[in-house]
A and B are shown apart, each in its own frame.
Chain A
Amino acid sequence: DTGVSQDPRHKITKRGQNVTFRCDPISEHNRLYWYRQTLGQGPEFLTYFQNEAQLEKSRLLSDRFSAERPKGSFSTLEIQRTEQGDSAMYLCASSRGRSGNTIYFGEGSWLTVV
């Protein structure tokens, strides 16, 4: 399977702990996006990379959230000092080039903060 891969698929963590999610995009895609989705809502933009450069971050992305894409390949999304409000599905997507090209989503990483 050469689709977008995310790991772990599910994570339960205690409030205050740090968590990290990994995304491996489709190999020839230079753009990588992170979205957050809660039940009954559409995906909410968090940030995106073109190659290794982080080009845009949502105002929703607090200082506790950080994303990296070293070498322009896989990406990690870290949430520090998790809060219950961080419970959501974190979706990674990738695309080739800029707008007008479809983004393909991974299966998502479910986070539950208890």
Chain B
Amino acid sequence: QQQVKQSPQSLIVQKGGISIINCAYENTAFDYFPWYQQFPGKGPALLIAIRPDVSEKKEGRFTISFNKSAKQFSLHIMDSQPGDSATYFCAAAGNQFYFGTGTSLTVIP
């Protein structure tokens, strides 16, 4: 059973545009929601994370929006750049981390 559902599977955005990736979870025991960025051949690297007591967290061009009642959270990448082209994973954590299936983002110059 997929603990975290992520969409879309792939995303193409023009340079300067906004990239939006969505995730949903079921287990209300999860208390930490990170996003990871992964480049080919590399391990995932933490991008930004949020706890369920806040509805939004912003770090530079990256923002997480969190809706506790809907059990959904999303990543917004503002002013998307070609260097942002990578695979993005959402995760939900309790004692262990469960990952979404990933979104392949391509930013076109």
A-side residues, CB < 8 A to B, are: 4, 33, 35, 40-45, 48, 55-56, 91, 93, 98-108
Contact = CB atoms under 8 A, between A and B. Distances in A.
A105 B36 CA distance: 10
Query: Secondary structure of the A side of the interface?
Result: loop
Chain B: interface residue count, which band? 20 to 34
A102 B46 contact: yes
A32 to B, nearest CB: 12
Given A104-B46, A107-B42, A43 B32 contact: no
Given A40-B102, A102-B34, A45 B45 contact: no
Contacts of A55: 95
Contacts of A33: 96-97
B98 A45 contact: yes
Given A41-B102, A100-B51, A102-B34, A108 B96 contact: no
B43 A107 contact: yes
Contact of B43 (A40, A101, A106): A106
Given A107-B42, A107-B43, A108-B43, A42 B102 contact: yes
A98 B45 contact: no
A101 B94 CA distance: 10
Interface in B37-56: 41-46, 49, 51
A91 B43 contact: yes
Contacts of B98: 45
